Amino acid sequence: MNTTLPKATILIVEDDPLVRQSMAVFLENSSFHILQAKNGNEGLALFTEKNPDLIILDLQMPGMSGLELMAAIKDDLPVIPTIVVSGTGSRDDVIATLKLGAWDYLTKPIEDLTVLEHAVTQALAKASLITENKRYQIHLEEEVSQRTAELQRREQELKVTLISIVDVVASMVEKRDPYTAGHERRVTSLSLAIARQLELDEVRYEGLGLAATIHDLGKVAIPSEILSKPGKLTSIEYQLIQTHAQAGYDILTKGTAEFPWPIKTIVHQHHERINGSGYPLALSGRDLLIESRILAVADVVEAMASHRPYRAALGVEVALTEIIKHQGTLYDPEVVTACLALFANKHFSLESL
Ligand SMILES: [Fe+2]
């Protein structure tokens, strides 16, 4: 097996043929592959065509000078080591070449060419480290972006799973309480329409949609005879029905499901009122999530507008009159305004849902 590493290619740009030739021969004997150019123009052409690993560059040459050549390839200088070998040795030249990106500066005549060889070897070793580092950096960035994409995919899968579970729970609740069939769906649609009207952000919008779908989940803890009782409820029965907000919260809290949205809190708060007259905690104002304040309005409008076992549907007009009457006392004023705007000019209709 041939384990010989490819020879590094060095471009020597030097107008003095004796100097150029002596450097070329010495470095060739040190196992480098040498390209020679006698001025800046030839040097630039060879650089572009052959893509050398290192450049040895004179400054003063007829035609394009060493500094002009460096300026022409300045974007490559951070990764292509360039050793300036000049007869001037003036401070200004040294500063100018270093500013342009030269890696090293040697003064002519170079009595001992092993000094040049040493400078070449050092510069190539540094360049290889830089290249290696860059490769590692790119690999790392690719790795990070792949992992991020994988995490986002899994998060999306988890969301889809959670949404399916919520849907299953919603249909279980509906099966048990067929008189309110469609209630959750219509409340969800109205809640989301209000949320859009209020320009709620996307994450909150998603959470509100899921919470609305199962907001009456706690009704599974209430005897179905009470839920479907056709007549007027006694005060005890009414109190029992009111426990569903707390029961829903308890069910969601006792499970191990961790939602990326405040679903438990929204379910808990959907019968709270902004003046603190609601249940189960009698919270008020800004202690209530905006999602809960939206759901409360959507819930009451849908409930009044629709048929119930104990009464006929009251209609949307009566429902809207009710929220106007209690705008700012029971119901969030901005949410009420948004809800009214939806129904104005028949932009939104519960009947079509
Ligand atoms: Fe409820």
Surrounding ion ligand 1 within 5 Å at CB are 216
- Under the banding of pLDDT at 50, 70 and 90, the label for residue 10 is very high
CA of 219 relative to ligand 1 center, distance in Å? 8
Q: pLDDT at position 280, please?
A: 97
pLDDT tens digits for 250-270? 999 886 667 889 999 999 999
CA of 314 relative to ligand 1 center, distance in Å? 18
Q: pLDDT at position 298, please?
A: 97
Q: pLDDT at position 180, please?
A: 65
- Under the banding of pLDDT at 50, 70 and 90, the label for residue 5 is low
CB 205 within 8 A of CB 162: no
CA of 287 relative to ligand 1 center, distance in Å? 19
- Burial bucket for residue 144 (CB in 10 Å: 0-12, 13-18, 19+): exposed
Look up the CATH superfamily of 177-346.
Hypothetical protein af1432 (1.10.3210.10)
Interval 49-76 mean pLDDT: 93
With a CB cutoff of 8 Å and minimum separation 6, the contacts of 131 are 79
Average pLDDT, the chain: 91
Rounded percentage of the chain residues whose pLDDT exceeds 90: 68
Is the pLDDT higher at 233 or at 180?
233
pLDDT tens digits for 271-290? 999 999 999 999 999 899 99
Q: What is the largest CA-CA distance in the chain?
A: 115
CA of 199 relative to ligand 1 center, distance in Å? 25
Interval 28-53 mean pLDDT: 95
pLDDT at 345 over 80: no
Is the pLDDT higher at 163 or at 337?
337
List the one residue out of 17, 65, 18, 20 whose CA is nearest residue 39.
Answer: 65
pLDDT tens digits for 166-188? 888 888 888 877 666 688 889 99
Q: How far is CA 205 from CA 154, 175, 287, 342, in A?
A: 21, 26, 19, 17
CA of 245 relative to ligand 1 center, distance in Å? 6
pLDDT at 351 over 90: no
pTM of the predicted protein model = 0.64
Residue position matching structure tokens 């932009």: 347
Q: pLDDT at position 341, please?
A: 94
CA of 214 relative to ligand 1 center, distance in Å? 9
- CA neighbours closer than 13 Å in the CB half-sphere of residue 273: 13
CA of 327 relative to ligand 1 center, distance in Å? 19
- Under the banding of pLDDT at 50, 70 and 90, the label for residue 353 is low
pLDDT at 224 over 90: no
CA of 226 relative to ligand 1 center, distance in Å? 14
Q: pLDDT at position 179, please?
A: 64
Q: pLDDT at position 202, please?
A: 95
CA of 345 relative to ligand 1 center, distance in Å? 29
CA of 216 relative to ligand 1 center, distance in Å? 5
CA of 215 relative to ligand 1 center, distance in Å? 6
Q: pLDDT at position 350, please?
A: 77
CA of 244 relative to ligand 1 center, distance in Å? 7
Q: Map out the domains of the chain as residue ranges.
A: 9-137, 177-346
CA of 156 relative to ligand 1 center, distance in Å? 29
Q: pLDDT at position 1, please?
A: 46
What is the CATH code of the structural domain delimited by 9-137?
3.40.50.2300
